[in-house]
Amino acid sequence: YKEDKSGLMNTEAVIPSTDSTGCQITNFNINSESVGHVSFGMLKNAAYLQKETENYYESAYSRKKFYGTTELINTLEKAACIVKKATGVRVAYRDLSAKEGGKIGSHVSHQSGRDVDIHLIRNINDKLDTEWDRLASLDKIKYFDAKANWILVKALVSNGNINLILLDEALINKLIQYGKQNEPDQSIVNEIATKLKKYPGHDNHYHVRINCPIGDSMCKEGSFRGDKQQFLAEMKAYMES
């Protein structure tokens, strides 16, 4: 990767391609690696999410927290394409990780390129909306569009190696109820139900995490336990190798 004057990654190291469904997916000419744990980790050779495309936009781009593993970025590209084709609305992504991982803001996780926050899709006067500020004061349950959000969650789980999706308990119940009543493939309903985890403070967005990508030898699942200084030294050495 090369940086422009703003310090952001340019696109010289990426090659766009179109898959069999007509969705454009980026073939990154890098070997990204998630290093360490999501709550104590780093990110090597990061891929990045574009500011916006016809299928999605990055709602907090100025914070420069739009980096992740290639696996995460490609999952987000594919999911957004599916949602746009089915609903006409662009998916809104928020924080991923910093360029080299590590602690960002008030987030506990988001440290190793495997996490992303995604706006919920609301239905306001029969119009789908993903604007963060506009939705903040609305009745979260009433305006939660079960159909559009089901399409989004199904696209993520069907096209990515999803570890978990954190969401408000009432919204989980509404989503699963929709799936049970409307989804022809009930096996995907069961799979999605195992991924959704109730978590307070997640009534305006999803927190999505992928599993450790295959081949990322320093990627660790679960919470960190051990000598932080020693593991930090190991991660730094690996980042420099």
User: Does 57 have pLDDT greater than 90?
Assistant: yes
Looking at residue 218, the DSSP 8-state letter turns out to be: T
Q: What is the DSSP string of 13-47?
A: TEEEEE-TTS-EEEEESS--EEEEETTEEEEES-E
Distance CA(241)–CA(238), nearest Å, equals 5
Query: Residue 207 in contact with residue 199, Cβ under 8 Å?
Result: yes
Q: What is the mean pLDDT of the chain?
A: 90
| Partners of 197 in the β-ladder | 166
For 67-118, what is each residue's pLDDT tens digit?
Answer: 999 999 999 999 999 999 999 999 999 999 999 999 998 888 999 999 999 9
Distance CA(44)–CA(219), nearest Å, equals 11
